[in-house]
Amino acid sequence: MTIQEVIDGFREGAAENAERNAYANELFQEAVRIGMDLNTQYHTPEEIREIMGRLIGKKVDDSFRMFPPFYTDFGKNITIGKDVFINSGCHFQDQGGIQIGDGTLIGHNVVLATINHDLNPEENRKNHYAPITIGAHVWIGSNATILPGVTLGEWAVVAAGAVVTQDVPPQTVVGGVPAKILKVIPEEVPQGYTSMSKKHGHFYGKEGAI
């Protein structure tokens, strides 16, 4: 039994397999153990990258940065690009798959959830899995939640506290519950500026960023 076989078992329509389920439970517990190591004592940035590599089962680029604590219940279905930053308190529920593009910034307490449950009582809250795909240079604000099956296009921005239920086009700012499009980011923004007034079209500095 391999990790990939466990991941394949999370796909819609996969047949039940007792051996696979048992190995999945071992991997869940491994993620808990590694998470406790990560979150309960100080680690250097180099150590954090090494621990994250063990947690996700693949090498993390030397440009990766993270402020713990960080939580995941599986870990092995996370892929992290280059120059990614994850701030403290994030929760990644990754059985359905989480792919994070280069240059992405993820704020405090962000939740990435790839599991949903069946509403039909006859299905006894059966799990349904769908991947989250985050394009390059995406910015996800603090306390945002990204739901299963969502793709965030390159240079998209998710406002703090948003609940994203649908795909977000590239270079688009979304916010609210559920998230809606707030503005489209112009092709060129003056250097040193991060957002644009929705009402007046004026540029704001970092103090005005979402």
Select from 78, 104, 107 the least CA-distant residue to 92.
Answer: 78
Q: Determine which one of 108, 117, 128, 137 is catalytic.
A: 117
- The rounded distance, in Å, linking the Cα atoms of 183 and 171 is 9
Q: Give DSSP secondary structure letters for 9-68.
A: HTSTTPPP-HHHHHHHHHHHHHHHHHHHHHHSS---HHHHHHHHHHHHTSPPPTT-EE-S
Look up 43 and say whether it is catalytic. Answer: no
> So which residues are the catalytic ones?
117
